């Protein structure tokens, strides 16, 4: 059976990489296009990961196949799946450390068991590096900016309060003099704004509590993840006894034996089923302890007189035979935690359920996205049986982890899934898969023997791209167009024209982000976008034209002329695009708009009443594909427009 290869699209959000979509081995270009759209529209770093699954060994190999520009700047390409497997060092087999001497005050003559090997000196820690002083006085500058901002806020509110007091009737004014009230308001607002600015810039509350400031960008999250990965950790498996705890137990037992002064030790009886040596528990092989390498010598109370040594053969003195060391009793292995009958029943029931699921779907052949959907399904089933047996949350998660490992997940991924499970329930698509597992387990506990048969159909539907319902809704559209793009290319050349297009794209996308809009697509000479309301679209269009004007002023040889059309109406969204008469009319309005201006429809003008926006009627226009002539308006945003608006 050959290995299965897929391409997974990941994006970086909230400090971690999240799986977005899965593609077959022949769809690598589609996966790259999807990842490119994620960064272009959402601004998230994106990667395409090639995943190879060997169905015979259930081994999963993952490698980054393509990265977006933002993802290339992030230094976690080898560690986005956890520990770097290509650089992972083999587990070092640790030796059992020699026991430390007892802390009691030493007597004039050493105790017999105190003659064991000396404790290994602690490894000296390297001297901490001095932190480089940050140049530029960033801290003082931040405080100064916070103070200036706070003064501005306090001054504005004080002026507003003073104006309100002047127009307020005399009977409604407060008994405090107006000057004192305004001054007190200024001081109070200044201190509140100043403390708020300090907290937003430096994490003031976190500093007062002694907590580090949380990272605020994807790059900061990566640095925090890298620093955490470099921290020394104990390399033990989840749920096993920690090696350090065993070391402490060994040292405490040896110290107790030394203080008691035991002269004789009886050989330890081997328990049935228990390992004969502690090294077997810690996976240390057949290595010999350093303390056992040098046998102990127990000196009798009175040494017998030595025989006279012949001077001619001083080197033939036979060493004294050391006393035989009695066998040490190995420390007992900690007993496994006792499980309650309810927990045992829950584990058994969920294990059987996963076995039934495996009989209807090839778990070894699932790609990463399908396996994630299966995990959600198993999590829903586990929640039902856990609640039925009244298990605690920790016990339910431990039971779920064992079942996820049984379903073909590596232990580290199963544990990470359990940690993130609460957040998965907030996603409607994920919640649907969890609910499917809930219904399947409820049917199984009700006596149904075919509860898991629908898993194959569920996973097939899960792998289909998410589609939004084709229901018309009222949406505000904006089209931009670079005027004379063909002539501009001939005049500036390909390189110069591309710079002009980038200036246009930068201005448009900055306005979309500022007004909480959404970029739908790039039309070649412009951009199609949607906005939450007509006023946001109009003010965003004005911001675009002002940014373009600033660019033209700074680059006389690289002039860019843009026209913009705005409209609002019903449209249908399908496959990340919009269709309908409102979309067509917006494109036609953009074609009619004057160079360097924004034109809008009557619907936009009506929706913006009371928004302090000026619209100048430009007459009726016939537009291709639109029935009847329509009145179009030009948005006033320049000084010339202000004079024209004053004459209306």
| C-beta of residue 185 within 8 angstroms of C-beta of residue 161 | yes
Cut 0.85: pTM above it: no
pLDDT along the chain (648 residues), means of 10: 81 82 86 88 88 78 88 78 46 45 46 42 45 48 83 88 80 78 87 82 62 50 50 40 50 56 42 40 38 40 46 48 56 63 86 87 83 89 87 87 88 84 78 88 83 83 64 85 88 86 93 94 90 95 95 91 95 86 93 93 93 91 89 92 80
Reference 47, options 17, 23, 14; nearest CA is: 17
Q: What is the predicted pLDDT for the residue at 550?
A: 94
Residue 82 pLDDT? 54
Q: What is residue 184's predicted lDDT score, i.e. its pLDDT?
A: 87
Determine how β-strand 562-574 pairs with β-strand 598-600. Answer: parallel
Strands 16-24, 46-54: pairing is unpaired
Give the model's pLDDT for residue 454.
Answer: 83
At 62-99, the pLDDT tens digits run 888 899 998 888 887 766 665 444 444 444 444 444 55
What whole-number distance in Å separates Cα of residue 271 and Cα of residue 638? Answer: 92
pLDDT at position 53 is 80
Give the per-residue SS3 of 83-123: CCCCCCCCCCCCCCCCCCCCCCCCCCCCCHHHHCCCCCCCC
pLDDT at 106: 47
What is the structure's pLDDT at 147?
85
Tell me the pLDDT tens digit for each residue of 248-284. Answer: 555 566 555 555 544 444 443 444 444 344 333 334 3
**DSSP category for residue 274:** S
Q: What is the pLDDT of residue 457?
A: 85
Helix, strand, coil in percent for the chain, rounding step 5: 45, 15, 40
The DSSP element (H or E) to which 67 belongs, if any, is strand 59-67
Which of 621, 614, 618 minimizes the C-alpha distance to 637?
614
pLDDT at residue number 326: 54
Q: Which of 340, 604, 377, 380 is nearest to 477 (CA)?
A: 604
The CA distance from 400 to 46, in Å, is 30
Angle made by CA atoms 413, 416, 417, in degrees to the nearest 5: 85
């Amino acid at each position: 059976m050959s290995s299965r290869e897929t391409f997974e699209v990941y994006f970086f959000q909230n400090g971690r990489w999240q799986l977005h979509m899965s593609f077959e081995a022949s769809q690598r270009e589609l996966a790259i296009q999807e990842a490119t759209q994620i960064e272009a529209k959402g601004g998230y770093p994106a990667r395409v990961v090639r995943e190879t699954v060997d169905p015979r060994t259930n081994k999963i190999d993952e490698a980054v196949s393509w990265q977006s520009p933002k993802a290339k700047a992030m230094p976690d390409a080898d560690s986005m799946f956890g520990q770097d497997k290509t650089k992972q060092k083999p587990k070092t087999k640790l030796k059992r450390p020699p026991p430390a001497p007892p802390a009691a005050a030493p007597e004039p003559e050493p105790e017999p068991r105190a003659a064991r090997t000396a404790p290994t000196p602690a490894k000296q820690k390297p001297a901490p590096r001095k932190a480089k002083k940050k140049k530029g006085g960033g801290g003082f500058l931040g405080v100064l900016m916070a103070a200036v901002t706070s003064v501005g806020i306090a001054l504005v509110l004080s002026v507003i309060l003073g104006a309100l007091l002047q127009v307020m009737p005399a009977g409604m004014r407060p008994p405090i003099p107006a000057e004192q009230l305004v001054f007190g308001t200024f001081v109070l607002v200044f201190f509140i704004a100043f403390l708020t600015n300090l907290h937003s810039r430096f994490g003031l509350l976190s500093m007062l509590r002694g907590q580090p400031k949380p990272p605020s960008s994807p790059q900061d999250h990566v640095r925090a993840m890298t620093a955490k990965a470099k921290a020394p950790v104990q390399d033990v498996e989840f749920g096993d006894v920690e090696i350090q705890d065993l070391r402490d137990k060994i040292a405490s037992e040896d110290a107790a034996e030394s203080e008691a002064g035991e002269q004789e030790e009886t050989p330890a009886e081997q328990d049935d089923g228990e390992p004969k040596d502690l090294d077997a528990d810690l996976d240390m092989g057949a290595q010999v302890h350093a303390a056992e390498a040098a046998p102990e010598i127990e000196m009798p109370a009175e040494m017998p007189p030595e025989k006279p040594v012949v001077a001619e053969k001083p080197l033939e003195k036979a060493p004294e035979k050391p006393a035989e060391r009695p066998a040490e009793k190995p420390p007992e292995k900690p007993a496994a935690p006792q499980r309650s009958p309810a927990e045992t029943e829950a584990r058994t029931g969920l294990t059987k359920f996963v076995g039934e699921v495996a009989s209807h779907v090839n778990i070894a052949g699932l790609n990463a996205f399908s396996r994630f959907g299966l995990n959600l399904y198993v999590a829903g089933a586990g929640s039902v049986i856990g609640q039925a047996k009244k298990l605690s949350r920790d016990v339910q998660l431990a039971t779920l982890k064992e079942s996820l490992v049984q379903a073909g997940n590596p232990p580290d991924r199963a544990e990470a899934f359990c940690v993130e499970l609460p957040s998965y329930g907030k996603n409607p698509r994920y919640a649907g898969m969890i609910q499917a597992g809930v219904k399947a387990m409820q049917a199984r506990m009700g006596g149904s023997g075919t509860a898991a048969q629908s898993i194959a159909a569920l996973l097939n539907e899960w792998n289909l791209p998410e589609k939004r319902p084709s229901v018309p809704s009222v949406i505000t559209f904006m089209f931009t167009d670079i005027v004379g793009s063909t002539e501009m290319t001939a005049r500036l050349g390909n390189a110069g024209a591309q710079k002009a297009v980038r200036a246009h794209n930068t201005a448009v996308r900055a306005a979309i982000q500022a007004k909480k809009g959404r970029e739908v697509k790039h039309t070649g000479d412009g951009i199609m976008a949607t906005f939450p309301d007509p006023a946001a679209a109009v003010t965003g269009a004005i911001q675009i034209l002002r940014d373009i004007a600033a660019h033209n002023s700074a680059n006389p040889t690289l002039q860019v002329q843009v026209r913009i059309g705005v409209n609002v109406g019903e449209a249908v969204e399908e496959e990340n695009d919009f269709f309908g008469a409102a979309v067509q009319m917006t494109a036609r309005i953009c074609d009619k708009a004057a160079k360097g201006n924004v034109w809008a429809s009557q619907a936009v003008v009506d929706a913006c009443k009371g928004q302090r926006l000026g619209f100048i009627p430009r007459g009726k226009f016939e537009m291709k594909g639109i029935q009847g002539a329509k009145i179009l308006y030009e948005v006033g945003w320049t000084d010339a427009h202000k004079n024209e608006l004053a004459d209306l």
